[in-house]
Chains A and B, each alone.
Chain A
């Protein structure tokens, strides 16, 4: 298994540009999420999904859109990039709560996308 993959690894945008960060997992996980991590800070939840077709907002959803058309993919769209969105973005996945806490709480994280907005 490749686990959780994220593309691109690095990206530089200009203010106002839009882009999509890709996230894919091959573990048949129902739960997927996006976090951002600013330099020297903790992780903040942007959006999450408990299954295909279902998404919800996390702590810091403004400026980001998500969709979940398949179990495997959970792309994150920046609508109009701003310098405040300069951060490292991590995608994570896990089994659903129906699988029990032992599987649900073990999230697998991708390697991250480092985004700079000028």
Chain B
């Protein structure tokens, strides 16, 4: 299983871009990188997924370098409603999908 490491918490202000990096040194060849968002008292919600290079959707961008040992979730122009916990998951070869501790993002006005 690929172990992931993320910062425990991050602070930002409204309108700023936020980048959250996840380290996954032992990622396997077939593993994909998936990010989830969790608001208080709710279940996690899928945000974005990628394998290499860059993926963008209406919510975020995901940057994955060539060695794939890390990935960066980029949230453009955050608002107060982006305050949440963000989880990075790595897997595809295994059915045992393990969440890490996540990054608690606090956005201030």
Describe B's contact surface by its main secondary structure: loop
Instruction: Kindly list chain A residues whose C-beta atoms are within 8 Å of the C-beta of B51.
Output: 101
CB nearest to A111 among chain B residues: B43
Contact yes or no, B42 A112, CB < 8 A = yes
CB within 8 Å: A-B pair count: 66
Total interface residues on A, CB under 8 Å, equals 28
Contact yes or no, B49 A106, CB < 8 A = yes
Query: Of B12-20, B71-79, B96-104, which binds chain A?
Result: B96-104
Known: A59-B98, A105-B89, A105-B92. A92 touches B49 (CB 8 A): no
Contact yes or no, B43 A102, CB < 8 A = no
Q: Could you tell me which residues of chain B, from 76 to 108, have a CB within 8 Å of some CB in chain A?
A: 85, 87, 89, 91-92, 95-102
- On B, residues with C-beta under 8 Å from A are 32, 34, 36, 41-46, 49, 51, 85, 87, 89, 91-92, 95-102
